[in-house]
Amino acid sequence: MDRITADLIYSPGSLLREHCLEVEEDGTIVALRPIEGKERRLIRYKGIIFPGFVNAHCHLELSAFRGKLKEGLGMTAFAQAIVQERKNIPDESHQLALYDSLREAFYTGTVAIGDICNTALTADSKKEFSKLFTHSFMELIGLNAAQAEEIVEKGKALQKAFEGDSSLALHAPYSVSGALRDKVYAGEKALLSVHLMESGAERALFEEGTGDFLDFYEKIKLPLPSFSHSRSQDHLLENLPQDRPVLFVHCLEASRAEIEELAAAFPLAYFCLCPKSNHFIHNKVPDIHRFQSVTDRLCLGTDSLASNTSLRMLEEIHVLQQNYPELSLHTLLKWASTQGAAALQQGDEFGAFMPGKKPGVNLLQGIDGDSLALSSNNSISKLY
């Protein structure tokens, strides 16, 4: 067993000084405790020791899109570019890129991923790379109500290809019929994930019946859907049971009042922010002030490599810290580990140094003195 210490060690309550982490060679935590006097055989590190990152929102199957799309396209042009670019990527590139992604995520300190799946592309790689925990969300899309039953059955069939945790998910308000939504909500109360209020275009579609989505439906040859609600969240969340655990992804365009309303209506909901992806597609990062009432229910994700340059969770933290210097490093690490683990219902396994568990042990270096701001030469080492 090793006894390790650093300038600071993360716990969900605070960053601890003069503490020691006892850990087995295989990464099993034995104890996190104060240092007693002059301890021998203590391995000392400069920096901060914290548990593995939990990336609560990713699309690993889009890994081969890294570097392929332009920044700042906006929602609908981005979605179209994905459809277009997919034709140019050879089949074999997908598996190679996926393998690189899994390794990148793991060796930059991530231990668990909430991963959106539209195909079985990632199933075998996840089995082989089982040291990285994944919750696979089978993402259902469909505006034709008559096909709702078939879409759900396909999703359930797809789920069988995946080992480990999985559940059905819905894509977004503008791509899901009321019938499909109701079938998913009537099923078992498994963890749900939805993209919600990501763009101004989504709001314009529901509130005014205008905007980029009209052109988008035409381009992808879909009849213009008619929604019976004038807010996207009302359409997507009607009939969602209050006690359903759910991950609201993005909410980039949600107002403070709308976030408070969602939080009150769905007490088990978490909100997942993907700052680098938002910046890539929409040229803006989440307005943290709007999420002030739900800071204990925030988690972070990278989104896919179609809209991000890497799956390094530390970069998401860095972007938030650059935009909001008032956010403490402890808070950001909490969102990126403890609260991400809770959001994926893995709080008993990840996100804190719990005896008998293997949450991963990371060392963060390159932090500026008292402010604990990440410097440009910050780095993560995976110790266990």
Q: Is residue 55 helix, strand or coil?
A: strand
Cβ-contact 184, 168 below 8 angstroms:
yes
Stretch that binds Zn ion, among 7-15, 184-192, 295-303, 359-367 (CB under 5 A): 295-303
List the interface residues with Zn ion, window 21-50 (CB under 5 A).
none
Min dist CB 25 to Zn ion, Å, is 37
End-to-end CA distance of the chain: 12
Min dist CB 139 to Zn ion, Å, is 9
Stretch that binds Zn ion, among 72-80, 204-212, 234-242, 298-306 (CB under 5 A): 298-306
Q: Which is nearer to Zn ion, 233 or 331 (CB)?
A: 233
The 301-320 site mask, x for binding Zn ion (CB under 5 A), equals --x-----------------
For residue 128, the tally of other CB atoms under 10 A from its CB is 10
Min dist CB 9 to Zn ion, Å, is 33
Where do the H-state alpha helices sit in 38-170?
75-86, 91-107, 123-128, 148-159
Min dist CB 348 to Zn ion, Å, is 26
Distances (CA, A) of 287 to 17, 253, 356: 32, 9, 38
Min dist CB 303 to Zn ion, Å, is 5
Cβ-contact 194, 171 below 8 angstroms:
yes
Stretch that binds Zn ion, among 300-308, 349-357, 358-366, 367-375 (CB under 5 A): 300-308
Q: Which is nearer to Zn ion, 19 or 59 (CB)?
A: 59
Residue count, binding to Zn ion (CB under 5 A):
1
Q: Which is nearer to Zn ion, 3 or 171 (CB)?
A: 171
Min dist CB 172 to Zn ion, Å, is 9
Q: Is residue 195 helix, strand or coil?
A: strand
Min dist CB 119 to Zn ion, Å, is 15
d(CA 77, CA 68): 14
Stretch that binds Zn ion, among 87-95, 238-246, 297-305, 330-338 (CB under 5 A): 297-305
- H or E element at residue 7: strand 2-10
Q: Which is nearer to Zn ion, 110 or 331 (CB)?
A: 110
Cβ-contact 306, 300 below 8 angstroms:
no
Which residues are CB-contacts of 216 (< 8 A; sequence separation ≥ 6)?
76, 79, 80
d(CA 138, CA 159): 6
Q: Which is nearer to Zn ion, 253 or 303 (CB)?
A: 303
Q: Which residue is nearest to Zn ion (CB)?
A: 303
Q: Which is nearer to Zn ion, 202 or 303 (CB)?
A: 303
117 beta partners: 138
What residues make contact with Zn ion under the rule CB under 5 A?
Answer: 303
